[in-house]
Structure 1
Amino acid sequence: MTIVKKTSLLLLCAMLLILAAACGNNKNDKKELATVKFSEVIHSIFYAPHYVAMSQGFFKDQGLNVDMNTAQGSDKGAAALIAGTADISLVGPETSIYIYNQKGDKTLKVFHQLTSRDGSFLLSREKLGNFKWSDLQGKTIIGWRPGSAPQMVLNSTLLKEKVSDVKVVTNIAAPAMAGAFTSGQGDFIQLFEPVASTLVKEGKAYFVASLGEAFGPFPETSYVATSDFIKKNPEIIQKFSNAVAQGAKWLSNASNDEITKALKPFFEGTPEDLIIQSVERYKSQGTWSTNPELTKEQFETLQKVLIENGVLKADAKVTNMDDIVDMSFVKNIGKSE
């Protein structure tokens, strides 16, 4: 009996040591997670790869804990970076140009290009047969704030299609736009997913056009950080880029059920069929590039649109792209893993 008791005691001690070691490892794992204060411009399925990286644990696999909030505007997302209340923001890359031209103490740098087309859709109040851009003549569109990427893409599209005499309302806050439209304001509205599909499903609007398809390739939203933060935390920037790229890759290969399960926690109340429909819509127009690099050609397109919309003077163009863009982390994706 004594031998049996001693054996049992030894086994019990061994088990306790294993459990203690496991608990110790878990604690170390938690300590190793670096918290990144992250600000997204708006909340939309347009940014699905980011939410996938969160839900599938890709950020945690890289040793990062992403503390996310929604800024409701690129200007606010950029301000959070300057103020230090955000480490990384998902905003329009034009904000880096604006900040750079202010010649202040801090500059912002784009280090990862998430979307390569505009993500908004044009909806009408009345059902139209074959929509033509000329149908907007003399009409009112509820649009986005002045100087924002979707507002400029819409304006440039109207210029390209030679449509004039269109009133674009730009003073309604993003969260209130859909409500303003359903209460009777405007003839058309410019919305992102899944809000666009929600209004259509409820019979409150009709889909007429994709601004992403109408305008063509455009570097709409990028991950941006201050030059100081990037210089001090290159490992965090690289890990962050790795995780987002993994999210985009996963999204391109996952089943509808897997995608729904991954995105549902971020869009509670949105029907599953609308989640999938939104993802498919963005996929079909080539929203998420397999290469998240902001190219010189895209940068030129961006500055051309800024000049066309009167928010950047031709002589204020950023001639050296490297002053506000650092694609070294994108080029190193996967190499350090």
Structure 2
Amino acid sequence: MKKWLRGLAPLIVLPLIFSACSNEEGEETIEVAEVTRSIFYAPLYIAIEEGYFADENIDIDLTTTWGGDTTMTALLSDSADVALVGSETSIYVHAQDPSDSVINFGALTETDGTFLVSREPMPDFTWEDLEGSSYLGQRAGGMPQMAGEYVLRQNGIDPYTDVELDQSVDFANIASAFASGSGDFVQLFEPNATEFEEEGIGHIVASFGEESGTLPYTSFITKESMMEENEDALVRFNRAIYKAQQFVENESPEAVAASITPYFDETPEDLIATVVERYRSQGSYAQNPYINEEGWYHLQDIMEESGELPQRIDYEDLVDTTITEQALE
């Protein structure tokens, strides 16, 4: 059992105390824990800023919980109603046979969102260039690391013998560790990757999203009991997300950037637009909240290859499409 799952086990049996409630304006508040703050999650911020949640009589209380373990802990301990996190976490929790299952009910992203960044310019980069290098990786068992390992193996690189893999740095500090001189290569989310490129700290040489295929990489997850007791709120939630997904798909990157700028105080608006276009062009943003069934099984293939899959789970067991079906009627 993974170390962070050992820490989660006692939380699963806590009594249910839902935080979803109505505020003074009559809106229903839904507390959302996001695994990190990233332009990768642009549709969520769009849904808030463009008033799509408000149109559905929902007020979002958004907290960044920095890492899959802390995000799932927030959901299991009733500190959040909805977790925005990798779908692999739902498989880990399910393997413990919890009394209140966690269910994936909406897709936000459908590819890996990280990029391979080198310390030196490498205009003619090939994957063989990684051999013998120091590689600053992500947390073991997390989707970024597993997708990264999958891509390396697909390109003939063994992540544990061909590179010097360093996984000692906490998720929230990986970018700063690389900026401070750790690693020849690093796997980074945006906007860090593009910021580093513009500042000359690093250079984007490959996209893990392009290389690893369609995945339920970041999904909206909630407890089964929440779905039973607050189904209508979740339907309205997904309807708002869908409107935001269409905004991201159809509006200009500049329009998306202008809307989500408040979530990235230290990132220039033109850089946000560049990142939005990069993610959109590689199909990272899901165009609707349906979780791809083929991608669900591809996710488990990647987990199994990394030695992290506790058991195979059927799509219907942990993915609920009825919320989205009602939202898009």
C-alpha separation between the residues in 1 aligned to 2:93 and 2:78? Answer: 15
When residues 264 and 285 of structure 1 are mapped into structure 2, their CA distance, relative to the original with a 3 A threshold, is: same
Who is 2:297 aligned against? 300
Q: Which of residues 129, 133, 141 in structure 2 aligns to 1:147? A: 141
Give the deviation of 1:62 after TM superposition: 0.5
Query: What are the equivalent positions in structure 2 for 1:173-322 lying under 5 Å apart?
Result: 173-313=170-310, 316-318=311-313, 320-322=314-316
RMSD: 1.5
1:153-176 per-residue CA deviation (whole Å, 9 max, x = no partner) reads: 010111111113112222212221
Give the deviation of 1:296 after TM superposition: 2.3
Q: Which of residues 44, 53, 63 in structure 1 aligns to 2:47? A: 53
Give the deviation of 1:30 after TM superposition: 4.8
Q: Which of residues 109, 112, 124 in structure 2 aligns to 1:118? A: 112
Who is 2:69 aligned against? 75
When residues 332 and 193 of structure 1 are mapped into structure 2, their CA distance, relative to the original with a 3 A threshold, is: same
Who is 2:18 aligned against? none
Amino acid of the residue matched to residue 278 of structure 2? R
- Name the count of aligned residue pairs: 305
Q: In 1, are the aligned partners of 2:34 and 2:71 still within 8 Å (CA)?
A: yes
C-alpha separation between the residues in 2 aligned to 1:295 and 1:202? Answer: 37
C-alpha separation between the residues in 2 aligned to 1:256 and 1:206? Answer: 22
Q: In 1, are the aligned partners of 2:119 and 2:185 still within 8 Å (CA)?
A: yes
Give the deviation of 1:324 after TM superposition: 1.2
C-alpha separation between the residues in 2 aligned to 1:206 and 1:199? Answer: 7
Correspondence 1:168 to 2:162? no
C-alpha separation between the residues in 1 aligned to 2:145 and 2:254? Answer: 34
Give the deviation of 1:332 after TM superposition: 2.0
Q: In 1, are the aligned partners of 2:194 and 2:271 still within 8 Å (CA)?
A: yes
Give SS of 1:130's match.
Answer: coil
C-alpha separation between the residues in 1 aligned to 2:328 and 2:88? Answer: 28
Amino acid of the residue matched to residue 312 of structure 2? K
Give the deviation of 1:326 after TM superposition: 0.5
Please identify the structure whose Cα radius of gyration is greater. 1
Unaligned runs of 5+ in 2: 1-21
Amino acid of the residue matched to residue 161 of structure 1? N
Give TM-score, length-normalised by structure 2.
0.89
Give the deviation of 1:291 after TM superposition: 3.3
Who is 2:30 aligned against? 36
Give SS of 2:174's match.
Answer: helix
Give the deviation of 1:147 after TM superposition: 0.7
C-alpha separation between the residues in 2 aligned to 1:162 and 1:334? Answer: 42
C-alpha separation between the residues in 2 aligned to 1:169 and 1:333? Answer: 43
Q: In 1, are the aligned partners of 2:253 and 2:274 still within 8 Å (CA)?
A: no
% identical aligned pairs: 36
Q: Judge which range, 43-52 or 289-298, deviates more.
A: 289-298
Amino acid of the residue matched to residue 319 of structure 2? V
C-alpha separation between the residues in 2 aligned to 1:75 and 1:308? Answer: 21
Q: Which of residues 148, 153, 160 in structure 2 aligns to 1:159? A: 153
When residues 112 and 182 of structure 1 are mapped into structure 2, their CA distance, relative to the original with a 3 A threshold, is: same
Amino acid of the residue matched to residue 149 of structure 1? M
Q: Judge which range, 46-55 or 168-177, deviates more.
A: 168-177
Query: What are the equivalent positions in structure 2 for 1:3-22 lying under 5 Å apart?
Result: none
Q: Which of residues 93, 98, 101 in structure 2 aligns to 1:99? A: 93
Q: In 1, are the aligned partners of 2:123 and 2:205 still within 8 Å (CA)?
A: no
C-alpha separation between the residues in 2 aligned to 1:157 and 1:86? Answer: 33
C-alpha separation between the residues in 2 aligned to 1:259 and 1:129? Answer: 30
C-alpha separation between the residues in 2 aligned to 1:323 and 1:103? Answer: 12
Unaligned runs of 5+ in 1: 1-27
